[in-house]
Amino acid sequence: EDKVVQSPLSLVVHEGDTVTLNCSYEVTNFRSLLWYKQEKKAPTFLFMLTSSGIEKKSGRLSSILDKKELSSILNITATQTGDSAIYLCAVNSGGSNYKLTFGKGTLLTVNP
Amino acid sequence: EADIYQTPRYLVIGTGKKITLECSQTMGHDKMYWYQQDPGMELHLIHYSYGVNSTEKGDLSSESTVSRIRTEHFPLTLESARPSHTSQYLCATSSGSLLVQFFGPGTRLTVL
């Protein structure tokens, strides 16, 4: 059974801090790892990492995939209150399977 | 505009009622998914469809049923709601061989 574990489960920081969120996985046939940001309701897509694309960056957010350690990190620099959200990690185990297995998420709170 | 719509957004009903949660999309995507999410917990896949007249049960056992008669429509039905069905239900779509799933705004269901 595929498994995704995120840490920490919650984190409180001050505006301007840099944070690192962790995601580790155990899947039978890794194909891709995705990061989502969930504010009040629907998760919104941030990044997808695969064997051919192990590092992604968009503005203050960046993510790296470590296939050897079966893990990924999501970095947010110069945090803002608008970054407060649940950050979800999901993994696809490939083949003809398009399903995603999600972790519990990290609740990030950025205080002014 | 390409989007995913879910109705109702909030629903409070009594035990034993039959309900249908609607999900429709103008994304032009062939694959659709239903997830259940309790507070502080992972998204759990309960149903998915890779095309018209194709539906499968997900990893989390659910008493709900789904249908996919039209590409853009993927309703979820509970024949007899119970308090244990209280949760948030999220609909998602994806296209072709792409693994990124896009989410609708969700339906918050409360069964009294």
d(CA B91, CA B102): 8
Q: Which residues of A touch B50 (CB under 8 A)?
A: 98
> β-pairing, A10-14 with A32-38?
unpaired
SS (H, E, C) A12-80: EEECCCCEEEEEEEECCCCCEEEEEEECCCCEEEEEEEECCECEEEECCEEEEEECCCCEEEEEECCCC
The three-state secondary structure class of A82 is helix
| Interface membership of B39 toward A (CB under 8 Å) | no
Amino acid at residue number A84: S
B30 touches chain A (CB under 8 A): no
pLDDT along chain B (112 residues), means of 10: 93 96 96 92 92 91 92 96 95 89 96 96
Q: Which of A4, A98, A103 sits opposite B99 (nearest CB)?
A: A98
| CB < 8 Å to B105, chain A | 41-42
User: Which amino acid is residue B8, in one-letter code?
Assistant: P
pLDDT at B83: 95
A102–chain B nearest CA distance, Å: 6
pLDDT of residue B42: 87
pLDDT in tens, chain A (112 residues): 789 999 999 999 999 999 999 999 998 888 999 999 999 778 999 999 998 778 999 999 999 999 888 999 999 999 999 999 999 999 998 766 788 999 999 999 999 9
Kindly report the nearest CA distance between residue B79 and chain A, in angstroms: 25
Angle at CA of residue B23, ends B19 and B25, nearest 5°: 165
The reported pLDDT for the residue numbered A67 is: 87
